[in-house]
Amino acid sequence: MTYTNWAQNEPDSYQSEEACAGLTYAGLWYDDNCEKPSFVLCYNATTNTTVLIREKKSWRDALNYCRLFHTDLATIENQAENTKLKQLLLNSNVESAFMGLYRDSWKWSDQSSSVFTAWGTQEPNNGGGGEYCALLDLLYNLWNDVSCSMKLKFLCGTAKKIQILKINMQSTLNLDVSDFNSTILQQLQQKLRKLGLLSNTKLTWRTQPDGQIFHTPNEPSTKNNKQYSLLCPLRSRLRKKRQIKRKAEPREFIKTPPVSPTKIHF
């Protein structure tokens, strides 16, 4: 976003509840509570015009309305567009209206969403309008938003990697029975550890869209046995990749093809 026209002391994220933006008849921008009903500015790509909706809506309802009946909430990319929408509000005798600008929620440094939060009372408050980073108060075990330029001690974490393995196996049994699939998972984990899997690795089955773990492919089965395939998420802090040479082993219900540099197939 290269163009902005915020009013003085805006955006202030008052009481940490203002994440949606509106335009005033003076042509100035402000942030407001997304649930607070307001008039709406919708953009229509077919006619290349902005339409003022005189029915007050929350920002989310306004977004859905604009996308259903027009194209989207209005955006402002330069001074000329700002002046045009300002004039629309003046001519319509409307003080302010929602537009398409909104503020993203808090995210971790790896860009993952912050599902769990532990903010202190009235935090985050964006005090002074420049608090976009968070600290952990070890005394109260609560979070506080602070300026990103503040020098503090810091916490480092180790990234976890999820790898999905596809496994083909043959059996006359119903492998979706919990006792069977838990036994297979246990034996699979033991086998992988012999090949260098770290002890803190967690294996879990990945449920298919139909609710089952195992899926029978359309290809003809061999030796009158059902042939199953499945996906298994592999969660681990992985070591540096290395080639693994395998010796011939007695026949088992798991077939083990050669290892590729990027995937492990069973």
> Cα angle at 205 between 199 and 206, to 5 degrees?
130
Would 21 be classed as within a structural domain? yes
> Do 163 and 209 sit in the same domain of this protein?
yes
Q: Give yes or no for residue 27 having a pLDDT over 70.
A: yes
Matching residue, tokens 């020098």: 151
> Do 168 and 194 sit in the same domain of this protein?
yes
**Lowest mean pLDDT: which of 115-119, 194-198, 215-219, 230-234?**
230-234
Would 62 be classed as within a structural domain? yes
Would 130 be classed as within a structural domain? yes
> Do 139 and 208 sit in the same domain of this protein?
no
**Lowest mean pLDDT: which of 176-190, 192-206, 240-254?**
240-254
Tell me the pTM.
0.45
Per cent of the chain over pLDDT 70 is: 67
* DSSP string of 15-26, one letter each residue: GG-EEEEEEETT
As a whole number, mean pLDDT of residues 252-266 equals 42
pLDDT in tens, 131-180: 789 999 989 999 998 888 899 988 887 666 677 777 776 666 665 556 66
> Do 175 and 244 sit in the same domain of this protein?
yes
Asked if residue 142 lies in contact with residue 125, where contact means CB atoms within 8 angstroms, the answer is: no
211 versus 255: the higher-pLDDT residue is 211
> Do 263 and 165 sit in the same domain of this protein?
yes
> Do 171 and 240 sit in the same domain of this protein?
yes
Domain count, the chain: 3
Residue 266 pLDDT? 45
Would 209 be classed as within a structural domain? yes
Would 108 be classed as within a structural domain? no
Residue 218 pLDDT? 59
Would 203 be classed as within a structural domain? yes
Last residue of a domain, one of 60, 78, 102: 102
Domain that holds residue 32: 14-102
What does the alpha-carbon distance between residue 26 and residue 97 come to, in Å, rounded to a whole number?
12
**Lowest mean pLDDT: which of 121-130, 207-216, 220-229?**
220-229
> Do 198 and 266 sit in the same domain of this protein?
yes
Q: Give yes or no for residue 214 having a pLDDT over 90.
A: no
> Do 263 and 183 sit in the same domain of this protein?
yes
> Do 96 and 49 sit in the same domain of this protein?
yes
Q: What is the mean pLDDT of the chain?
A: 76
124: left (phi over 0), alpha (psi -120 to 50) or beta: beta
Would 4 be classed as within a structural domain? no
Q: Give yes or no for residue 116 having a pLDDT over 50.
A: yes
> Do 117 and 150 sit in the same domain of this protein?
yes
Would 30 be classed as within a structural domain? yes
pLDDT in tens, 43-90: 999 999 999 999 999 998 999 999 999 999 999 999 999 999 999 999
Residue 258 pLDDT? 44
> Do 189 and 216 sit in the same domain of this protein?
yes
Residue 265, token pair as written in the block:
């197939």
> Do 166 and 151 sit in the same domain of this protein?
no
Asked if residue 122 lies in contact with residue 15, where contact means CB atoms within 8 angstroms, the answer is: yes
The H or E element that residue 225 is part of is: none
